[in-house]
Amino acid sequence: MKPFLRWAGGKNWLVRHIDQIIGNQLFNNYHEPFLGGGSMYFHLNIGNECFLSDLNESLINTYIQIRDNVDLVINHLREFENTEEFYYQIRHQIFEDETLQAAQFIYLNQTSYNGIYRVNLRGIYNVPYGHRNKDFIQEDLLRQCSVYLDGAHLNAGQFNQNIELIQPGDLVFLDPPYTITHNNNGFIKYNERLFSENDQYRLSEFIGDIIEIGAFYILTNAAHNDIAEIFNHNQPVIMNRASLIGGRNANRGNYEEFLFTNIENEFIEANRN
């Protein structure tokens, strides 16, 4: 199952490795507090209950509306046009209806430049038109994702706000915005305000709590010595990815990233740093 959103810094590249990373380990519930494009959630589809969250309230509303009102969202999308004039008209609109807000979010995501989600200091979305010819509605995919989201718990907020919901044997997948520049990563300039170095230390403490509870975690982060020092619960696994989406000046090519986990199996041990 693939996600319905384009997401800069998303984890589509990791999907091909995740089954080896997890191995034969079984889990109770699934938690993903940096949901973003949701590629890992849609691929794994594991856990008795799934708890999904993100700091981006517009993003979470979009997931809720796709889960609960997918046909209404699709009907709104059918009224939109993939033209530059219409794009800027919709970009500046403020909708009260939550299904229209979700349709606006999906439309801008699918027709903007490189699918980047970026707001200015006033919180206003400011990504330019992308001149992209692909169909932005994807009705079948939206309906499939609605089925996958059925029963999922969705809320907006900080990554550590629902620590009390994590139980022994659960899996927590963590993909924070990257703070530290590595390999000329083009995403850093969009994320400095969103996730600071202090937030990285808070996340490290959160992982300590996860381990103490008796749950499992998987963390992706920048391949940088400072990151290895902050997240010293486990040795990192070195992962390679192809950077397919970035800012105008971002270099595109192969990059290394760190993956930290307390799951133990032959694949993890073979790829430890």
Tell me, what's the pLDDT at 184? 47
Tell me how far CA of residue 184 lies from CA of 48, 155, 247, 249, 256, in angstroms: 40, 33, 11, 10, 11
- Is residue 46 within 8 A of residue 171, CB to CB? The reply is yes
Tell me, what's the pLDDT at 22? 94
Percent of the chain residues topping a pLDDT of 70: 88
Mean pLDDT of all residues in 97-108: 97
**Which tokens sit at 88?**
């800027």
**Residue that wins the pLDDT comparison between 68 and 272:** 68
Instruction: Return d(Cα 19, Cα 161) in angstroms, integer.
Output: 28
Same domain as 264, residue 197: yes
Same domain as 122, residue 89: yes
Same domain as 179, residue 133: no
Amino acid at 250: A
Asked if residue 72 belongs to a domain, the reply is yes
pLDDT-derived band at 8, boundaries 50, 70, 90? confident
Tell me how far CA of residue 80 lies from CA of 38, 71, 128, in angstroms: 24, 15, 17
Same domain as 206, residue 95: no
Same domain as 250, residue 186: yes
Asked if residue 170 belongs to a domain, the reply is yes
Asked if residue 74 belongs to a domain, the reply is yes
Asked if residue 87 belongs to a domain, the reply is yes
**Residue 227 phi, psi dihedral angles, 5° rounding:** -65, -40
- The answer for residues whose C-beta is within 8 angstroms of residue 6's C-beta and 6 or more apart is 37, 109, 110, 114, 115, 245
- Is residue 3 within 8 A of residue 37, CB to CB? The reply is yes
**Residue 28 phi, psi dihedral angles, 5° rounding:** -85, -75
pLDDT-derived band at 121, boundaries 50, 70, 90? confident
Please give the mean pLDDT across all residues of the chain: 88
Asked if residue 202 belongs to a domain, the reply is yes
Same domain as 79, residue 108: yes
Tell me, what's the pLDDT at 244? 42
Same domain as 141, residue 178: no
Tell me, what's the pLDDT at 267? 85
Last residue of a domain, one of 114, 148, 182: 148
- pLDDT above 70: residue 10: yes
Same domain as 258, residue 133: no
- Is residue 255 within 8 A of residue 182, CB to CB? The reply is yes
- 127-138 pLDDT per residue, tens: 999 999 888 999
- pLDDT above 60: residue 245: no
Q: CB atoms < 10 A from the CB of 77, how many?
A: 20
Tell me, what's the pLDDT at 59? 96
- pLDDT above 50: residue 186: no
Last residue of a domain, one of 129, 148, 167: 148
Instruction: For residue 181, give the CATH number of its domain.
Output: 3.40.50.150
Range of the domain at 90: 65-148
pLDDT-derived band at 109, boundaries 50, 70, 90? very high
Helix (H) or strand (E) holding 269: helix 266-270
Q: What is the number of structural domains in the chain? A: 2
Least confident of 51-65, 75-89, 101-115, 240-254: 240-254
Same domain as 162, residue 255: yes
- Is residue 247 within 8 A of residue 190, CB to CB? The reply is yes
**Which tokens sit at 103?**
């349709």
Same domain as 136, residue 202: no
Same domain as 117, residue 29: no
Last residue of a domain, one of 102, 129, 148: 148
Instruction: For residue 70, give the CATH number of its domain.
Output: 1.10.1020.10
Tell me, what's the pLDDT at 215? 98
Mean pLDDT of all residues in 83-111: 96
Same domain as 162, residue 90: no
- pLDDT above 60: residue 252: no
**Residue closest to 26 by CA, chosen among 169, 168, 146:** 169
- Which residues, listed in sequence order, are joined to residue 219 by a DSSP beta bridge? 174, 260
Asked if residue 6 belongs to a domain, the reply is no
